[in-house]
Amino acid sequence: METVAKKILTPEERQANVDKFIKRWKEEKAKDEQEARDRFKTPEYQAILKKLREKNAKRGIIIPEV
Amino acid sequence: MQKEVLLSPKYDFNFIGGDKNSFTFQTVHKLTYEITFKPTFCLFGEDSSFAPYTFEFSIILVDNPADKLPQLDKAILPTIASIFADFFEKAPDTIAIYICDSSDGRQLIRHKKIDTWFYYYKHIFVKIDSQFLQKYGTIYPVSLIIKEYHPFRTQIFDEFLNVVNGYNAGK
């Protein structure tokens, strides 16, 4: 089996990798959050929430309508 | 204690699905949350054999009409824990990654909360913690969670630690 030697990175290269990873993660997270907030406003989503409120109410958990 | 959390009140939730495997629930304080399990190649890279099973677990506050810091609500953690268990029931080979958001400086509080609910499921799941340290000193706690008896547990943990430690060249 062929062994591929991994390059040992310098501390600067490692830091650059981490910074790049975090930057990309934050950008994607912001996009995902915005998408979720947009989806929340749709009638389909509001219908799901209405059903959830009804289900919760049957168990005595009253969620006020926004 | 475990029994206590399983019996404690929790909210009904709904699986919305979509490309991020979203779940939603609302609280008595009118907050709406989405819990997502988004397929991610960010950590292990597309070539990793673990990549198809890796999902980033996120908790998104979708609507906060009062625009205030959410109040203490004992039903939220059991609800999130139930959603987590529900997803793993559907996909038991899941490798869940959770990165705590640090933009508001509350990352350690978030990490502690995850620890709290994880405690109740520690007989089912196993978690490993590490952190990303950004150039200017901001810490991003990161956790990996898999089923306790995952057949590739050791390899997954090794690869996770290698990546987080920044040894993964060519990302």
Q: Where are the domains of chain B?
A: 2-164
d(CA A61, CA A53): 8
- The three-state (H, E, C) secondary structure of A19-66, written as one string: HHHHHHHHHHHHHHHHHHHHHHCCHHHHHHHHHHHHHHHHCCCCCCCC
Please check the confidence at residue B46 and state whether its pLDDT lies above 50: yes
The secondary structure of residue B131, as a DSSP letter, is E
Of all residues in chain A, the one with the smallest CA distance to B165 is: A14
Q: Which CA distances in Å does B81 have to A63, B75, B153?
A: 20, 10, 21
d(CA B9, CA B7): 6
**Residues of chain B with C-beta less than 8 angstroms from the C-beta of A45:** 16, 24
The helix or strand, by DSSP H or E, that contains position B162, with its residue range, turns out to be helix B153-164
Of all residues in chain A, the one with the smallest CA distance to B141 is: A22
d(CA B160, CA B162): 5
CB contact under 8 A, A53 and B26: yes
Of the partner residues A7, A22, A25, the one whose CB lies closest to the CB of residue B169: A7
User: Residue B21 — very low, low, confident or very high, per pLDDT cuts 50/70/90?
Assistant: very high
**Residues of chain A with C-beta less than 8 angstroms from the C-beta of B140:** 22
pLDDT tens digits along B30-44: 999 999 999 998 888
Q: What is the number of other CB atoms lying within 10 angstroms of the CB of residue B36?
A: 24
Q: With beta carbons less than 8 A apart as the criterion, state whether B80 and B59 touch.
A: yes
The fold adopted by the segment(s) B2-164 is Aminopeptidase (3.40.630)
ipTM: 0.85
pLDDT tens digits along B93-129: 999 999 988 777 777 777 887 787 777 777 889 999 9
pLDDT tens digits along A18-46: 888 889 999 999 999 999 999 999 999 99
Residue of B13, B21, B24 to mutate when probing chain A, most A C-beta within 10 A: B24
